[in-house]
Amino acid sequence: MLHGRGTERAAIDELVAAVRAGASRALVLRGEAGVGKSALLDHAAAGAGMRMVRATGAEPEASLAFAALHQLLSPVSDLLDALPEPQRDAVRGALGLAAAPSADARFLLSAGVLSLLTEAAVDGGLLCVIDDFQWFDRASADAVLFAARRLREEGVGMLLAVRDHTGVPVRDIPELRVGGLDEASAAKLLVERAAVAPSGPVLGTLVALCGGNPLALGEAAASLTTEQLTGRAPLPDPLPVGSGISEVFGRQADELPELTRRVLLIAAAEGSGELGLVLNAAERLGCDDPAAALAPAESAGLVIVAGASIRFRHPLVRSAVYATADSVQRRAAHNALAGALGGDLDRRAWHRAAASVGPDETVAAELAASAERARERGGYADAGVALARAAELTPDRAVRARRLTDAATASWLGGRPGQAETCLAEARELADDPRLLAELTQLRGRFELHSGDAAEAQRVFTEGAERAKDTDPGRALEMLADAAEAAGNVGDHGALADIGRRAASFGGGDPFLRAMLVGIGAMIEGDAEGGVPVLRAALATADGLDQAAHLLWASAAAGQLGDIDASAGYIIQAGRVARVSGMTGQFPVVLEFVARAERLSGRFTLSAAINEEGLALAREAGYTNSAAAHLANLAVIAAVQGRADDCERQAREALAIAIPHRVGLQASVAMYALGLLDLTLGRFAAAHARFESMVNAGLGAAHPISTWRSSPDRIEAAVGCGELDAARSILTSYGRWAANALTPQAQALVARCRALLAGDADKALAQYEEALRLHATDGGADRGSPFEEARSSLLYGERLRRSHRGGDARGPLRTAMETFQRLGLDPWAERAHNELRAAGESVARPEPVALNDLTPQELRIARLVAEGVSNREVAARLFLSPRTVEYHLYKIYPKLGISSRTELARLIDHGVGGTQ
């Protein structure tokens, strides 16, 4: 019977009611062992009145990839055919129902779990009841948490009970702390459990000593005499509560017959409650009638046998039974279980490992094979645990180094960077094979590049490439490319030029990759004669590229050649390739480039939507530096929209990562955002100071790309605060860069900057007109950046008005205002509106474009649907369920005042443009 718990019951009842009404909710119940979390879950299950799936984590299965997910999803696996094909294949592979996808498809798997739960919720909702979540295998836990964080209006409820002090990360999900019972509720429980009602003083003492913990109260009541409960005899000191509960359970087990203790130990070692397996193993340990041997344990209330399952009354009972056995008895139990498991290779391997005393290659090989099966299904974190244990059991030094290397890789991909670093360090101490050392060096560098010090990553890659160029030329060239990526993030263009020279002397490896490094290095060094032919020849073969990483290199090459449109096209293509493949390692990083390209094209709302997605995925994948990139870009968008608080918060968060990690690109973008915010709000002197700090921040904080891309903003800020000499100096440098740029927009921005600095009004107006002519010829309907064109129109109109040509100023000012309004840039629209009024035209600002009212998720969905993508394919690309896509479309159409996909496509085409 559940006593008290008014707050907890209300929260659970509210969740269940919301799910019944079609909403989705997730709630974590966190508390110490025995505090009553399971009883609350039972309360939720009893009153749910809807379809339900349940799973309970088992400590012995905490390293078996997808064991818990299989338990949770088995009742609804018949609905898998309703999922988009990529998600369906990923879930089937994880559950062992089909071959696993060849790629790292963890995001697809997690999205498939969400889709499957959504399908199961169609008729009246679905409640997922999860107990002992701290013992879920990592692959299952990651998939469940991914789904829980993305629940919206699918009619799915999720309750997760987690024990305190287990180190299980459960982020971004509402949490309810489950504490002890109040005194009145504790009194009811004691009366129910004790032989006699305790006296008032005894009751108060017991509640205080037990902290209101129901398990502790119940065990204390059962262990005390009538005299102690009524206060006629003193309470024992210490009272058997808290950590002493396990001792109580242990003593209860010790009082059982020897054969009963043997069967109990096997059940404790087995953990999942499979009665037939426990009985089989007990027979192997000499117990002729194990079922009869269990009877005393049932009578003592330590275990509950129901049908084909056996479970301990509380997890602490199981822990106590296992802890009170000696090591010889435990190994014997695990060995018997391994023998009884037969064809269950993964569980057998773990039991054989638990039964091992020292190194044993046969057992190590079985565990390594189990890890490989987990890895094939996407269970990287669990594969890392298995490989690390296999390495411990491996007698041969070289084989152990190999397994530790694989463990490091799997742990990193599984989101366990700490374990990855430990395995990597151990492998480096053991390895002496040059090819393995090269692999370890590359791993170390990639760990640093994605989540550590980018400058250190650059050094590691460069030195590693030199050491490996003779023994492993293919990997050596890859490391040079990694070094170039790291140098690009740091902002060390001198290193990029040096890497290009090194690559020219490296034999073997990918010819396309070598051409990229050589050509880009030459261009950065100023050797266009040497670099242009190399890059053009390599890009001539780019049509067949099908890897996101290669497409990003092609984008960088096109950028060096001044073909900004082609550069953006390669980035968009890379985003599509990475999205379809579901590659966890690449995707958040690729989305950095996609979001930046959309922002530079003036599609701010879409850029922010992509950043929000990338930020969530980067955090889930443990890619800290990628998270900084998404935060920095979001800060720029907030700046241009005038959202000061958001801009400053996101920039601070990005800088807190980027500065100590020496990721100059992200640091400089974050500092640029702060300067752009000042410029947007008309604070020219503050903007100029911010921009100067950005340029002069030094290696690892400044970046050449941010310097030249921000030149038009820096010039406008300098002119605005009267720093004309600084503005002229910036223009000189910017003009040199723009001389090599092929796009009309680049030349348009140079013309605009010259107009800002022109003292003579006629010369200034002629430059503005040239800028607008160039903007208008840049790429037709989807040309350049509408934001930059509108800024040129605004500055042109302002100069016309100051030249007493108010009538002529109204046209460009009106165009600027309408464009800013369409893009959702209120401060800029307000500035244009004020100028228009000053020019003599009294006009109301137009209504905001409805597209700007869509949430990031809605906008991503709307864009894909407008391109003609089906709901199922949208779900596959965005890691959603098809029903979630349908739900969002149901909200999108009324928001936009439309009723069909055709209207949506038309509105999107005229609204934000471009492709995702």
Whether pLDDT at 373 is above 70: yes
Name the pLDDT band for 620 (thresholds 50, 70, 90): confident
Backbone angles phi, psi at 152, to 5 degrees: -130, -85
Distance CA 736, CA 731 (A): 9
**pLDDT exceeds cutoff 70 at 529:** yes
- 3-class SS shares of the chain: helix, strand, coil, % to 5: 70, 5, 25
CB 516 within 8 A of CB 506: no
pLDDT recorded at residue 167: 66
- What is the distance between the alpha carbons of residues 19 and 644, in angstroms, rounded to a whole number? 37
Q: Which of 86-95, 463-472, 695-704, 740-749 has the lowest mean pLDDT?
A: 740-749
Question: Is 233 a residue whose pLDDT tops 90?
Answer: no
What single-letter DSSP state applies at residue 854?
S
Determine contact, residues 213/185, Cβ cutoff 8 Å. Answer: no
Closest to 493 (Cα-Cα) out of 461, 525, 519, 463: 525
**Residue 779 confidence (pLDDT):** 55
Token duo for residue 369:
């094979």
Tokens linked to 679: 């410029």
Say how far residue 716 (Cα) sits from the centre of its chain. Answer: 38
The burial class, CB within 10 Å (0-12 / 13-18 / 19+), for 331 is middle
Q: How far apart are CA 835 and CA 813, in angstroms?
A: 7
Q: CA-to-CA distance for 208 and 217, rounded, in angstroms?
A: 10
Neighbours of 32 (CB within 10 A): 18
CA separation for the pair 500, 495 (Å, rounded)? 9
Which fold does the domain 852-911 belong to in CATH? Arc Repressor Mutant, subunit A (1.10.10)
Record the tokens describing residue 371, joined without a space: 């890890």
And the tokens for 404? 């530790």
- Report the topology of domain 6-177: Rossmann fold (3.40.50)
pLDDT value, residue 103: 59
The 10 Å Cβ neighbour count of residue 88 is 21
Alpha-helical runs (H) found in 134-225: 138-149, 183-193, 200-210, 214-223
Span 292-301, pLDDT tens digits: 999 999 998 8
pLDDT tens string 781-809: 345 789 999 999 999 999 999 999 999 99
**Range scoring the smallest mean pLDDT among 353-362, 484-493, 536-545:** 536-545
Residue 880 confidence (pLDDT):
82
Has residue 25 got a pLDDT over 60?
Answer: yes
Q: How confident is the model at residue 741 (pLDDT cuts 50, 70, 90)?
A: low
Please state, in angstroms and rounded to a whole number, the distance separating the CA atoms of residues 912 and 858.
Answer: 14
In this structure, what token pair is assigned to residue 572? 């968009």
Q: What gap in Å lies between CA 118 and CA 154, rounded to an integer? A: 6
Q: One-letter amino acid identity for 778?
A: D
Among left, alpha and beta (phi > 0; psi -120 to 50; other), residue 149 is: alpha
Residue 193 has a pLDDT of: 75
If you write DSSP's letter for every residue of 668-736 in order, what string do you get? HHHHHHHHHHHHHTT-HHHHHHHHHHHHTS-BTTB-HHHHHHTHHHHHHHHHHTT-HHHHHHHHHHHHH
101's enclosing H/E stretch is: none
The SS3 assignment for 314 reads coil
Start-to-end C-alpha separation, the chain: 55
pLDDT tens per residue across span 816-834: 999 999 888 999 999 999 9
State the DSSP H helix or E strand holding residue 607, giving kind and residue range, or none if neither: helix 604-621
The closest of 694, 649, 703, 695 to 671, measured between CA atoms, is 694
* Among 177-181, 313-317, 523-527, 538-542, the least confident range: 313-317
Q: By mean pLDDT, which of 242-256, 375-389, 478-492, 666-680 is the weakest?
A: 242-256
Residue 730, pLDDT above cutoff 90: yes
Burial of 662 by CB count in 10 Å (0-12 exposed, 13-18 middle, 19+ buried)?
A: buried
pLDDT score of 583:
52
Looking up tokens 């009723």 gives 899
**What tokens does 67 get?**
């064991």
Q: What is the amino acid identity at position 138?
A: R
Encoded tokens for 615: 């930020």
Q: What CA–CA distance (Å, rounded) separates 826 from 75?
A: 51
User: Is the CA virtual torsion 190, 195, 197, 198 positive or negative?
Assistant: negative
What amino acid occupies position 349?
A
Amino acid type, 276: G
- Cβ–Cβ < 8 Å for 444, 469: no
* Mode of pairing for the β-strands spanning 126-131 and 309-312: unpaired
How confident is residue 243, by pLDDT bands cut at 50, 70 and 90? low
What are the residue ranges of helices labelled H in 453-563?
Answer: 454-468, 473-490, 493-505, 511-524, 528-539, 548-560
Q: What is the pLDDT of residue 914?
A: 36
Report d(CA 250, CA 339) in Å as an integer.
27
Taking all residues of the chain, what is their mean pLDDT, rounded to a whole number? 89
- For the chain, the domains span 6-177, 183-242, 252-429, 852-911
The sign of the torsion formed by the CA atoms of 350, 351, 354, 355 equals negative
Tokens found for residue 739: 């001389």
Identify the H or E element spanning 64.
Answer: none
Please tell me the distance from the alpha carbon of residue 653 to that of residue 637, in angstroms, as a whole number: 15
Q: What is the mean pLDDT of residues 387-402?
A: 96
Q: For the segment 132-191, what is each residue's pLDDT rounded down to a tens digit? A: 999 999 999 999 999 999 888 889 999 999 998 766 678 889 999 998 888 788 878 877
Q: How far, in Å, CA of 365 to CA of 349, rounded?
A: 9
Fold agreement between 6-177 and 852-911: no
Say which DSSP state 274 is in.
B
Residue 916 has pLDDT above 50, yes or no: no
- Is the bond into 238 cis (omega within 30 degrees of 0)? yes
Tens-place pLDDT, residues 562-572: 777 788 889 98
Question: d(Cα 331, Cα 507) in Å, to the nearest integer?
Answer: 53
Please state, in angstroms and rounded to a whole number, the distance separating the CA atoms of residues 153 and 19: 8
Going through 824-915 in order, the beta strands assigned E by DSSP cover none
What is the per-residue DSSP string for 793-839? HHHHHHHHHHTT-HHHHHHHHHHHHHHHHHHT-HHHHHHHHHHHHHT
Q: Which of 538-547, 588-597, 875-884 has the highest mean pLDDT?
A: 588-597
Helix axes 882-896, 901-911, angle to 10 degrees: 70
The order of strands in the sheet holding 175-177 is 51-56, 126-131, 156-163, 25-31, 175-177
pLDDT given at position 780: 43
pTM, entire model = 0.84
Rounded-to-integer distance, Cα 141 and Cα 147, Å: 10
Q: Residue 152 gets which letter from DSSP?
A: S
CA pair distance 454, 626, nearest whole angstrom = 11
Tokens encoding 416 = 């366990």
Answer whether residue 468 shows pLDDT above 60: yes
Confidence band of 911 (pLDDT split at 50, 70, 90) = low
User: Kind of pairing, strands 309-312 and 25-31?
Assistant: unpaired
- In the 8-state DSSP scheme, what is residue 849? P
When pLDDT is averaged across residues 828-849 and rounded to a whole number, the result is: 84
Under 8 Å between Cβ of 531 and 520: yes
Q: What is the mean pLDDT of residues 307-330?
A: 88
pLDDT at 253 over 70: yes
Angle at 315 between CA 311 and CA 319, to 5 degrees: 110
